[in-house]
Chains A and B, each alone.
Chain A
């Protein structure tokens, strides 16, 4: 109900998706960390970047989000203005909380996004309600528990109503209750039309969310397929082993 109370997101006439990555490499010194990544992120259900630890999931998200530049290859958004504040957002595995109140943390993103002040207050209030943080609004953000901080990070990103939201292992450090709260939020965010791109090593979580799976292993993209196809019939040996719960290094 609350979600429907959200104002209709500001959308440019030209959407930023799809994002096309062609033969993208990323290396530091002589170490190749991501190799020949080619995939397309289109509007629609969540994309899950799946893979064991060290597969390069976080790097792949950072590349897409523009926090690091590819050593080789191209990333092309549909709209050249993809870098404007608020069009895409990212929530990190360890959320970075500004040294101010919970409400002020949400408002900060909106101020950067140049949302006019009266609307800002309204949107902060909505976000606090949506993320269940109303009671904590005046509390210093840095004293919150990990689960609450992650919800706040989601609220801050969601408040800007981005077209694409990158989530880097958003529940990796959380207990089951906090995980479920965060997952519910992600589902709600996806339901408002924001494209969610989430990285995880958690198979069950991938099953719960994914419309599309990108399976990464040792810096290479082994599979890019619809989630149903991937879980029914993985094409690579590494993915088959990963689905069986056998560790592959």
Chain B
């Protein structure tokens, strides 16, 4: 108990004094996850919008697949990306394994299905409501898509935040493809795992505080966005 209290005090000091190591890890975490969310948003929203408004053979299968992929286990994603990027893998020549880029790729694979599935549902409901009116106004296909994305902005931001929450908090995938190398690929979650097993609880706890704060911020923002979306939809 005493040890825990000591660690907590030390952790608070690390946070309050903006410890350099701590900041570096937090910054890398945010960089990796934000980059992944950026790419996954472009991919996921485009795919979600296409699935929502187009009709083609195999569409249902795509939707089922996307929904199923939402629950991808991070370690499996890590393993698959590891195999693809390792020397003998198909993309081994790029030399990306154990770099932040590899971590970004793994997180993209992990969260694109989440953003795609959530945005598909939102956009499809909206399309049902708007399709006739937009056709009546002779809005082009591209214009309709733009209108849909704008009209659903709050719900789509919620979907993106769900992706971000998943990316920033996962440990399995980034640990495998990043290798948890100090000053290169060490992020909050991998550091917590490592420092806990090494017994350096202060740094692990300090990072834990920050991670929890970020998670709460994300959830709070999601709540506010939902309220805004409800206001808009009424």
- Which residues of A lie under 8 Å from residue B231 when comparing CB positions? 140
**Closest A residue, CB atoms, query B151:** A99
Q: Is the CB of B138 within 8 A of A96?
A: no
What is the size, in residues, of chain B's interface with A at 8 Å between Cβ atoms? 16
Assess whether B135 is interfacial by the CB under 8 Å rule. Answer: yes
Binary per-residue interface labels of chain A (50-67) against chain B in the complex, 1 for a CB within 8 Å, 0 otherwise = 000000000000000101
Q: How far is the CB of A233 from chain B (nearest CB, A)?
A: 36
Q: How far is the CB of B154 from chain A (nearest CB, A)?
A: 9
**Closest B residue, CB atoms, query A166:** B136
Q: Is the CB of A65 within 8 A of B234?
A: no
- Which residues of B lie under 8 Å from residue A109 when comparing CB positions? 137
Q: Is the CB of B137 within 8 A of A92?
A: no
Assess whether A18 is interfacial by the CB under 8 Å rule. Answer: no
Q: Is the CB of B135 within 8 A of A67?
A: yes
Q: Is the CB of B138 within 8 A of A83?
A: yes
Assess whether A247 is interfacial by the CB under 8 Å rule. Answer: no
Q: Is the CB of B138 within 8 A of A99?
A: no
Assess whether A14 is interfacial by the CB under 8 Å rule. Answer: no
Q: Is the CB of B137 within 8 A of A89?
A: yes
Of listed A92, A99, A143, residue having the most chain B CB within 10 A: A99
Q: How far is the CB of B145 from chain A (nearest CB, A)?
A: 13
- Which residues of B lie under 8 Å from residue A92 when comparing CB positions? 132-133, 136
- Which residues of A lie under 8 Å from residue B139 when comparing CB positions? 85, 112
Assess whether B89 is interfacial by the CB under 8 Å rule. Answer: no
What is the size, in residues, of chain A's interface with B at 8 Å between Cβ atoms? 19
Assess whether B3 is interfacial by the CB under 8 Å rule. Answer: no
Q: Is the CB of B137 within 8 A of A85?
A: yes
Q: Is the CB of B138 within 8 A of A90?
A: no
- Which residues of B lie under 8 Å from residue A218 when comparing CB positions? none
With A96-B129, A96-B130, A112-B143 known as contacts, the answer to whether A142 contacts B233 (CB < 8 A) is yes
Assess whether A98 is interfacial by the CB under 8 Å rule. Answer: yes
A92 to B101 Cα, complex, angstroms = 51
Q: Is the CB of A142 within 8 A of B234?
A: yes
25 interchain pairs (CB within 8 A)? A67-B132, A67-B136, A83-B138, A85-B138, A85-B139, A86-B138, A89-B136, A89-B137, A90-B136, A92-B133, A92-B136, A96-B129, A96-B133, A98-B130, A98-B147, A98-B151, A99-B151, A99-B232, A108-B137, A108-B147, A112-B137, A112-B138, A112-B139, A140-B232, A140-B234
Pairs A-B, 3 closest by C-beta atoms: A96-B133, A85-B138, A99-B232
| 13 further A-B pairs in the complex, CB-CB below 8 A; given A89-B136, A108-B147 | A67-B135, A84-B138, A85-B137, A85-B138, A85-B139, A98-B147, A98-B151, A99-B151, A108-B137, A140-B231, A140-B232, A142-B234, A143-B234
